[in-house]
Amino acid sequence: MTMLVIFDCDGVLVDSERPANRLLARYLNSHGVDIGIDETEATFVGLSLTTCAEIALKKYGVRLPDDFVPEIRRLTAEVLAREVTAIDGVRQAVGGLPGPTCVASSGEVAKMQLTLGTTGILDLFEGRLYSATMVKRGKPAPDLFLFAAEQCGASPETCVVVEDSPFGLQAARAAGMQALGFTGGSHRNHDRDRQMLLDAGADQIFQDMIDLPSIVKAM
Ligand SMILES: [Mg+2]
């Protein structure tokens, strides 16, 4: 069966989570949330900024400024333009896949264009970038993955999602799709995070992107 491979962007195609979360932690500290980088990543990686603001209020009791979303977008874009790198082996992996691909990210399209463009891999996915801003509910709801599949003309049972975050894996399972957990980003540690991603619903975990074609072909 030819599978549609739906890639998450941050932490899967581009190594953006560490610099972005260092910035987010500093911003939260300056607004009264006492939080370090590890807890920031554990709490917020994989979520939209709107959801992050909701969690800041619910979990930490801090109401972030009204301009939180545009301000963090602007600051993050500055940092990522300087610091983002591609995950090793993405071009080779995509080239080795037997079927179509797309990207489905909690970030907005402009952020995907920035990170994928800066790292020289945007041409692999041009015209097939889907954002949580296009649907009602972000991850862990299934909306974004279902929307991406529909846009690509695929049914959920012929889709496999590649994700680095528990919320993304939960979203993939809720969408009725197969799911692979990826631990190759610099914010992930394969031995530390493997079980967490399995618990979130991953069928398999892998840490080297060039292994993806053989994993997908075996599904
Ligand atoms: Mg991610």
pLDDT the model gives residue 46: 86
What is the three-class DSSP state of 162? strand
Virtual CA dihedral for 45, 50, 51, 52, nearest 10 degrees? 50
**Residue 117 pLDDT level (bands cut at 50, 70, 90):** very high
Rounded Cα–Cα distance for residues 16 and 84 (Å):
5
Distance 32 CA to ligand 1 centre (A): 26
Name the residue with tokens 């917020």: 44
Distance 24 CA to ligand 1 centre (A): 15
Distance 170 CA to ligand 1 centre (A): 12
Residue spans per domain, the chain:
4-15+85-217, 17-83
Residue 25 CB contacts under 8 Å (≥ 6 apart), including other chains? 35, 36, 37, 40
pLDDT the model gives residue 2: 87
Distance 163 CA to ligand 1 centre (A): 6
Helix (H) or strand (E) holding 21, with range, is helix 17-30
Q: Can you tell me the mean pLDDT for 206-218?
A: 97
Rounded Cα–Cα distance for residues 120 and 132 (Å):
23
- Per residue in 146-182, pLDDT (tens digit) is 999 999 999 999 999 999 999 999 999 999 999 999 9
Q: Which of 74, 47, 60 minimizes the C-alpha distance to 141?
A: 47
CATH H-level, domain 4-15+85-217: superfamily: HAD superfamily/HAD-like (3.40.50.1000)
What whole-number percentage of the chain has pLDDT above 70? 100
Q: Which of 30, 13, 37, 39 minimizes the C-alpha distance to 163?
A: 13
Q: Can you tell me the mean pLDDT for 24-47?
A: 94
- Looking at domain 17-83, its CATH architecture is Orthogonal Bundle (1.10)
Rounded Cα–Cα distance for residues 33 and 167 (Å):
22
Distance 12 CA to ligand 1 centre (A): 6
Strands (E), the chain: 4-7, 101-105, 129-131, 159-163, 178-182, 204-206
Distance 45 CA to ligand 1 centre (A): 7
User: What secondary structure does DSSP assign to 40-51, as a single string?
Assistant: HHHHHTTS-HHH
Distance 17 CA to ligand 1 centre (A): 8
Distance 132 CA to ligand 1 centre (A): 12
- Per residue in 6-25, pLDDT (tens digit) is 999 999 999 999 999 999 99
